[in-house]
Structure 1
Amino acid sequence: MTTTGTTLVIGATGTTGSRTAAQLAAAGHRVKAASRRATPVPGAEPVAFDWYDPATHAAALDEADRVYLIPPVGDADPAAIMLPFLRQARTAGVHRAVLLSSSAIPEGSPTVGIVHQALPDQFQQWAVLRPSWFMQNFTGTHAHAVSIREEGALWTAAGGGRVGFVDVEDIAAVAVHALTDAHAPNTDLVLTGPETLSYDDIATTITQVTGRPVRHHRLPYEQMRDRLAAQLPLEFASMLAGMDRAIAEGAENRTTDTVQRLTGRPAGTFRALLERESE
């Protein structure tokens, strides 16, 4: 691995960005931690960045030669602002870009898939991380975690569908590899945990490890969409509910060896995450 260069981490206070910035800094890499309020991140240089404020982009890119890209949250058309930024980044001297996408969003599909498709034309060194659903959705500030704490319940339209839930620490470890290894992956990387679990399994495991009873409520697509639309724009709520429906149909029932192949260690299990966070 190389220790030269500067990595701009966009969304450096977020779920994957904070861990990626921390792991990069701990390994001795220079990091510019970008967030709207230039929030301090240990070992990194804070810098203000807002996708919707182009005036913040040049300063964030200054001296950066690689960038970790987290799309704007909740934007149904992120390519509209991300593609001009990528062109600016290339002109500013960025030669490697790693994009966070999703296992549910293939290259060229609406939303981040359009950015995925464009990335190889912008950079000779690149990678697209396509993680499965985050294990930390059940322990952090995500709506699932809130409903678990407040209601002892999970609400999805996923039925009995199975998912290769992935630990965010493993996503960050792959991101660090993709950003700093001597050879860029130059491909998309589907990231999963070591096993597939249904939401019923998730509820059972939380109950067993924490002693807090949790139940999975299976909703029809329409009810899940409406439940999400109470807190999110309808278009985004419809997309998320549609992802649940795809899970019910088997779209996420897979595991990959990507984490172990790139980091040299096995992907973490959901039970291990719960035990770690309950210590």
Structure 2
Amino acid sequence: MSTPSPARTAATGATLVIGATGTTGGRTAARLTAAGHLVRAASRKGTPLAGTDPVRFDWYDPATHAPALRGVDRVYVVPPVGDPEPARVVLPFLRRARALGVRRAVLLSASAIPAGGPAVGRVHAALPEVFDEWAVLRPSWFMQNFTGEHAHAHSARTEGALWTATGDGRVGFVDAEDIAAVAVHALTDPTPLNTDLVLTGPEALGYDDIARILSEVTGRPVTHRRLTHDALRDRLAVLLPPEFAAMLADMDRAIAEGAEARVTDTVHRLTGRPPHDFRTVVQREATARPLPSPALD
């Protein structure tokens, strides 16, 4: 496919941000509106967000898709969480978006999933066939997994423990604010990126390191509890579909084998500043929203 000229890629409509109340979607929507861009903030309830045009959007309700796309020329795509085969709903939506005039799509994937891989990897592989202007963000594991509503944050708060099958493996954890900064660049830069981008923080940390930093910053002890692959899979399967639980356990095993022990310069290269380190993020978010003390029983 030919590369569009910068003049043709100038934004003329709104940006649809799917998952606008989520970890990266909310931050992306906020950055776009702060920069003066029109934003349609899509969520299942159509939750109002400051400076945006809220719209109800449900991946599994196609009747919500066309109204959400009205007046939109680019879209930030956060696939449905927990669906082991998101391509079944995401690809028909993307093709419909292209037919309705959307020119650019930026897809949130993960560093552990290559193009053509499982889950969102199928969407990644098909994206260049649908859009001339595209990017795939492949962030490492989120730092907010330990400060937000993720299972790790919950167990750190309530049990003083992080349960993983990662062993001594290390991860280039990344701040969701840095992901959002790159997303805005990918959505609005006159020249489309037309590539996938692995996003990490400035250093690779093990879960022992994460537990130590959480303990030091919050003043409450947090310990890394090491599980086998099968024990983690069974623990996750209590809350998640079995296929998704197995996939997450497989990702922990890959971490243990060194698959995520890397850092990239992508955030610095595209935003002009270095990525945030984990201690800074924990301090920032603990100040913004004090973390509750763990249960004593």
- Counterpart of 1:96 in structure 2 is 104
Residue 29 of structure 1, aligned match among 9, 23, 37? 37
- Counterpart of 1:174 in structure 2 is 182
- Counterpart of 1:213 in structure 2 is 221
The one-letter code sitting in structure 2 at the alignment partner of 1:10 is I
- Confirm or deny: 8 A CA contact 2:174 2:276 kept in the other structure: yes
Matched, 1:73 2:93: no
Secondary structure at 1:145's aligned position in 2?
helix
Matched, 1:109 2:117: yes
- Confirm or deny: 8 A CA contact 2:33 2:39 kept in the other structure: yes
User: How far has the Cα of 1:110 moved from its partner?
Assistant: 1.6
User: How far has the Cα of 1:209 moved from its partner?
Assistant: 1.2
Query: Percent identity over the alignment?
Result: 70
Secondary structure at 1:15's aligned position in 2?
coil
1:220-240 alpha-carbon deviations (Å, 9 max, x no partner) = 001000000111111110000
- Counterpart of 1:145 in structure 2 is 153
d(CA) in 1 for partners of 2:60, 2:51: 26
- Confirm or deny: 8 A CA contact 1:3 1:28 kept in the other structure: no
- Confirm or deny: 8 A CA contact 1:7 1:67 kept in the other structure: yes
Gapped regions of structure 1 (runs ≥ 5): none
- Counterpart of 2:52 in structure 1 is 44
1:55-75 alpha-carbon deviations (Å, 9 max, x no partner) = 000000001000000001111
d(CA) in 1 for partners of 2:139, 2:190: 22
d(CA) in 2 for partners of 1:21, 1:36: 16
1:253-277 alpha-carbon deviations (Å, 9 max, x no partner) = 0000000100111100000011112
Q: Which moved more, 1:226-235 or 1:2-11?
A: 2-11
The one-letter code sitting in structure 2 at the alignment partner of 1:154 is L
Secondary structure at 2:24's aligned position in 1?
helix
1:16-53 alpha-carbon deviations (Å, 9 max, x no partner) = 10100011001100000001110011110000100000
1:104-129 alpha-carbon deviations (Å, 9 max, x no partner) = 00000121011000000111100000
- Confirm or deny: 8 A CA contact 1:99 1:128 kept in the other structure: yes
Residue 82 of structure 1, aligned match among 90, 96, 100? 90
User: How far has the Cα of 1:3 moved from its partner?
Assistant: 5.9
d(CA) in 2 for partners of 1:124, 1:2: 14
- Counterpart of 1:10 in structure 2 is 18
RMSD of aligned Cα (Å): 1.0
1:54-106 alpha-carbon deviations (Å, 9 max, x no partner) = 00000000010000000011111111111111110001000000000000000
The one-letter code sitting in structure 2 at the alignment partner of 1:17 is G
User: How far has the Cα of 1:146 moved from its partner?
Assistant: 0.3
- Counterpart of 2:72 in structure 1 is 64
The one-letter code sitting in structure 2 at the alignment partner of 1:230 is V
- Confirm or deny: 8 A CA contact 2:12 2:73 kept in the other structure: no
The one-letter code sitting in structure 1 at the alignment partner of 2:245 is A
Structure 1: 4+ residue segments shifted above 2 A = 1-5
- Confirm or deny: 8 A CA contact 2:138 2:197 kept in the other structure: yes
User: How far has the Cα of 1:210 moved from its partner?
Assistant: 1.2
Residue 124 of structure 1, aligned match among 119, 128, 132? 132
TM-score under structure 1 length normalisation: 0.98
The one-letter code sitting in structure 1 at the alignment partner of 2:210 is I
User: How far has the Cα of 1:278 moved from its partner?
Assistant: 2.7
- Counterpart of 1:240 in structure 2 is 248
Residue 136 of structure 1, aligned match among 139, 144, 156? 144
d(CA) in 1 for partners of 2:195, 2:77: 15
The one-letter code sitting in structure 2 at the alignment partner of 1:260 is H
User: How far has the Cα of 1:2 moved from its partner?
Assistant: 5.3
The one-letter code sitting in structure 2 at the alignment partner of 1:99 is L
- Counterpart of 1:260 in structure 2 is 268
Secondary structure at 2:216's aligned position in 1?
helix
The one-letter code sitting in structure 2 at the alignment partner of 1:231 is L
Secondary structure at 1:52's aligned position in 2?
coil
Secondary structure at 1:42's aligned position in 2?
coil
